[in-house]
Amino acid sequence: MMKKVITVFISLLMILSLAACGNFASQTGQPSTEEKPMESTADNVGSVESGTSVENTEATEKQPEETEASGNAGIPEDPEEQEEQGTKVLVAYFSATNITRGIAGHIANGLNADIYEIIPEEPYTDADLNYNDNNSRTTIEMNDPDARPAISGSVEDMEQYDIVFIGYPIWWGEAPRIVSTFVESYDFSGKTIVPFCTSGGSGVGSSATNLEQLTDGADWLPGKRLNGSDSQDTVMEWVNGLGLDFGE
Ligand SMILES: Cc1cc2nc3c(=O)[nH]c(=O)nc-3n(C[C@H](O)[C@H](O)[C@H](O)COP(=O)(O)O)c2cc1C
């Protein structure tokens, strides 16, 4: 009997311990121990300042990239610098009897451009301009392709200009030699040059292409002969038809 009681007691003990092992096994099998650190980390990031500052740092780091992508790259914030980058136009001209001067004025007014008069160191007198005189100053100069009459003054900071109009009267089918002096006095490389002239009836002929030979690296547009009596509208019609970007 006693043996039976002990056997039953031992059996009960075994059943109880097996039940306890089963519970332990089921607890350790749960993924809760792995999830908890993740949950707590997420909670910490949400509540700890350092976590927030990390997010802000990332946002701050992205801002410069977004600024570049928005198309602002290369545009200076300084308005003066921006202006410097706009198209600048100069209208330079020589005029012995003021006809070409009027056309140059129309262009400069129409484009709100700077204007520069090529002034001879030694002014041309009426006698100098007498093309019927074989010994007049102009006849002598135009007979000598190497003549380079001196200019009084100079263009201040030619470098700033992108487009330069060059106006002159036709003398014996050519540009006056003083215009050769002018084009040889500056570096026009990278600039667009627009030659124009007035005359008693002759066309621009080879006057502009001969001037072009005296420069390097400039983009010369075909020369244009205008009438001294042309209105500003007529002149600007030609200017605006050149296909140039004047920046405004
Ligand atoms: C020395 C000299 C030569 C000229 N040669 C010509 C010429 O070959 N063909 C022409 O049509 N006009 C000729 N002209 C006239 C001028 O080209 C014309 O009057 C011009 O519009 C004057 O411009 P300006 O007042 O700007 O100097 C000549 C004028 C001078 C003074």
Ligand 1 nearest atom to the CA of residue 174, by list position: 8
Q: What is the pLDDT of residue 86?
A: 86
Ligand 1 geometric centre to CA of 18 (Å): 124
| Other beta carbons less than 10 A from residue 64's beta carbon | 9
Across the strands, what pairs with 167? 93, 196
Domain 89-240 has CATH 1.10.10.10: no
Q: Which atom of ligand 1 is nearest to the CA of 142?
A: 1
Q: How far is the CA of 210 from the centre of ligand 1 (A)?
A: 17
Query: If you take atom 9 of ligand 1, which residue's CA is the nearest one?
Result: 202
Per-residue pLDDT, 61:
40
**Hey, whose CA ends up nearest to atom 18 of ligand 1?**
199
Residue with the smallest CA separation from ligand 1 atom 30 is 171
Q: Whose CA is nearest to atom 10 of ligand 1?
A: 200
Residue 135 has a CB neighbour count (10 Å cut-off) of 8
Instruction: Specify the ligand 1 atom closest to the Cα of 173.
Output: 8
**202 CA distance to ligand 1 centroid (A)?**
9
Rounded to the nearest angstrom, the distance between the alpha carbon of 171 and the centre of ligand 1 is: 5
Atom 29 (ligand 1): residue with closest C-alpha? Answer: 171
How far apart CA 11 and CA 28 sit, in angstroms, is 26
pLDDT digits (tens, 9 = 90+) for 20-76: 434 433 333 333 333 333 333 333 333 333 333 333 333 334 343 433 334 444 445
> Mean pLDDT in each 10-residue stretch from start to end of the chain (248 residues)?
55 47 35 34 32 34 39 50 75 98 98 98 98 98 98 97 98 98 98 98 98 98 98 98 91
Å from CA of 26 to ligand 1 middle: 112
d(CA 236, CA 230): 10
Measured in Å, residue 201 CA sits from the centre of ligand 1 at: 9
* Residues lining ligand 1, Cβ inside 6 A: 95-101, 129, 131, 138, 169-173, 198-202, 228
Closest approach atom of ligand 1 to CA 100: 26
The rounded distance, in Å, linking the Cα atoms of 173 and 222 is 16
> What is the domain partition of the chain in residue ranges?
89-240
State the closest ligand 1 atom to the C-alpha of 97, by its place in the atom list counted from 1: 25
Phi-psi bin for 117: left (phi > 0), alpha (psi -120 to 50), beta? beta
Would you give the DSSP letter of residue 72? I
Distance (Å, rounded) from C-alpha 139 to C-alpha 128? 8
